[in-house]
């Protein structure tokens, strides 16, 4: 099944596809362009979450969605930490188009305080951590509530990561070649 491109205005979200920039934990761009794709099942859940957030005067900023399996290897080879990255031999929900990394933004486009930055690979990024502000706890709880109400599961170590339930075995791991235009940097 082809992936759905997540674009405006169909999806009322902002984008900062971090791996298309050097502003990510590797310090270099992994993607050649900032594409945002999801499996149709995940795209439908994202649309539900968008509608729920809109009712609260909030929107989403997407950091990553479909991550070609080649990109998962780049990330894993840089930082092989199974607490924060899926081993590509096992398959990442991102590489199935079944996961999205995002945060909440207010009406002016300002990111809500979540206590850590996206991709901060520390225990402070875990759900339920105690050493973040009350405001960050509240914002994480709102994000969690919106996403789980829209049909997403969460990953306990990353406040920004949401995926479809039990994606392994339900969705195929996909390579960059499934896209109409490559996202991967050529070596």
- Among the listed residues 5, 120, 135, 158, the single catalytic one is 158
Tokens 């990111």, residue located: 111
111 has catalytic annotation: no
Query: Using CA atoms, how far apart are residues 66 and 122, in angstroms rounded to an integer?
Result: 23
Query: Using CA atoms, how far apart are residues 111 and 142, in angstroms rounded to an integer?
Result: 13
Sort residue 116 into left (φ over 0), alpha (ψ -120 to 50) or beta: beta
C-alpha closest to that of 164 among 32, 74, 43, 10: 43
Question: Which residues are known to be catalytic?
Answer: 158
């Amino acid at each position: 099944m082809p992936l759905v491109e997540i674009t405006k205005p169909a999806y009322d979200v902002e984008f900062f596809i971090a791996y298309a920039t050097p502003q990510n934990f590797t310090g270099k761009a992994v993607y050649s362009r900032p594409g945002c794709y999801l499996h149709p099942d995940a795209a439908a859940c994202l649309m539900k979450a968008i509608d729920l957030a809109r009712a609260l005067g909030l929107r989403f900023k997407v950091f990553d969605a479909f991550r070609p399996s080649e990109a998962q290897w780049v990330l894993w080879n840089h930082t092989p930490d199974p607490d924060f990255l899926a081993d590509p031999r096992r398959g990442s929900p991102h590489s199935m188009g079944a996961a999205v990394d995002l945060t909440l933004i207010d009406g002016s486009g300002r990111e809500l305080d979540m206590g850590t930055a996206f991709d901060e690979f520390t225990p402070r990024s875990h759900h339920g951590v105690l050493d973040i502000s009350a405001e960050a706890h509240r914002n994480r709880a709102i994000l969690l509530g919106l996403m789980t109400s829209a049909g997403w599961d969460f990953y306990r170590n990353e406040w920004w990561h949401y995926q479809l339930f039990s994606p392994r075995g339900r969705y195929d791991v996909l390579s960059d070649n499934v896209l109409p235009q490559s996202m991967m940097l050529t070596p």
